[in-house]
């Protein structure tokens, strides 16, 4: 009985080792893929839906932590963020699977505009946008 179970253990071990060795190694990122990834971070995503803008008396970099906290409190998780020549942006997904785009645009030193856009065109979209705008306004002022 013990010889039979030991052969079973050896066979199972060989199968596990063979399965572990069958995976392909992770490919090294090429210079082209790295350049494309950097370019993607510089390109602002497009979100269609209602938007709201308001002006804040702070630098764009100082606004990001407050905006992230407001998004998190509203159930929106940040899925991507980046910079481009005009400012910074954050892209999030709400609990209702709506895209939320927050753009932070510097006007002049010490002043910025925050533009909030929520995907969709219904009552849920409008409620989410109003809630986010109020919460972001409280957090960044």
Query: What is the per-residue pLDDT across 67-90, written as a single tens digit (0 to 9) for each?
Result: 999 999 999 999 998 887 778 999
Q: Going along 22-98, which residue ranges are E strands?
A: 51-56, 77-84, 87-93
Q: How many domains does the chain have?
A: 1
Cα–Cα dist 79/69, whole Å: 14
**CATH assignment at residue 54:** 3.30.310.80
User: Which pLDDT belongs to residue 102?
Assistant: 94
Cα dihedral 22→24→26→27 (10° resolution): 170
Nearest residue to 77 via CA among 53, 43, 100, 104: 100
41 domain residue, yes or no:
no
> 15 or 1, which is more confident?
15
pTM of the model: 0.70
Instruction: Read off the pLDDT band of 140 (50, 70, 90).
Output: confident
End-to-end alpha-carbon separation of the chain, Å? 75
Phi, psi angles (nearest 5°) of residue 133? -60, -45
57 domain residue, yes or no:
yes
29 domain residue, yes or no:
no
């Amino acid at each position: 009985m013990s010889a039979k179970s030991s052969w079973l253990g050896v066979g199972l071990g060989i199968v596990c080792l063979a399965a572990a060795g069958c995976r392909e190694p992770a490919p090294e990122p090429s210079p082209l893929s790295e350049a494309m990834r950097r370019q993607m971070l510089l390109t602002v995503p497009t979100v269609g839906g209602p938007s709201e803008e308001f002006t804040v008396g702070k630098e764009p970099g100082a606004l990001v932590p407050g905006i992230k906290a407001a998004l998190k409190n509203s159930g929106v998780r940040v899925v991507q963020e980046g910079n481009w020549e005009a400012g910074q942006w954050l892209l999030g997904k709400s609990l209702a699977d709506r895209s939320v785009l927050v753009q932070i645009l510097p006007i002049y030193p010490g002043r910025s505009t925050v533009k909030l856009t929520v995907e969709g065109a219904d009552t849920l979209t409008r409620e989410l946008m109003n809630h986010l705008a109020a919460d972001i306004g409280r957090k960044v002022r």
